[in-house]
Structure 1
């Protein structure tokens, strides 16, 4: 279902989190659950994946993750502020040590000069530590490739969190 690179990285995350006794949650918008899907495609992922939130709409971000409406109004769904609020909301609503979030413009439409197709914001909340944010611009590579790269970037953030544990 997932390409070899994604599967290999997901396996590494599951092993690293299991070894360290960590649980994780995902909060996804433009990836629509693909990060959680990649992780749960690995046998034994239930040892580390507690839950995933697919919050495609602003309403879902607010209701399920507690993203403040003012953050969405002032910064938009595709922003560092929203990515941070998503990760922190997932971490506070699930019995986990780590939560990763993804929000971006996968295209083909929906982009603007300020927020072009291929712009994706990520955040990783680790209980008791500062939330890490990453902004990546993949370019207009097509919806599937943007989402694939976003999944890999989210997995990279999880790997970094495990390494810091």
Structure 2
């Protein structure tokens, strides 16, 4: 059942262009552990997730972003995480430290999206993302991608899609204003 949920959400992420190739990962908390996609797996065909203890030794096949997932589970009440690489969100994260959506859905569901800076897979990124997600559902790692956390993979996917939509709207608005001269 969990394998099917990972595959279903992975296919949605892939079909919407929120991940490409073998970028991104997902996890679901299960008591004192979590199930995470395998390192290098394609999210539209993720295979069986790897069980990782929240505290303890990490299996070698676990995604390289396991530190961030672990920090989120330790520091928040979230029970599911989607890490994606949506192009507009990543591009905008290179320019500003906080994204303020102007579309109605973005304003309603995530009035601000914080951008954090730390190397992918690092302890610093784990701390920054874990702290940021205590009060929100989505954050962007500068130049890297979104981390969306919620009560289910479906909800985390929704926040991932919402962040990219909000960034795309901001991009299109700026392009329109530039073109109008």
TM-score, reference length from structure 1: 0.34
TM-score, reference length from structure 2: 0.32
User: Which of the pair has more CA radius of gyration?
Assistant: 2
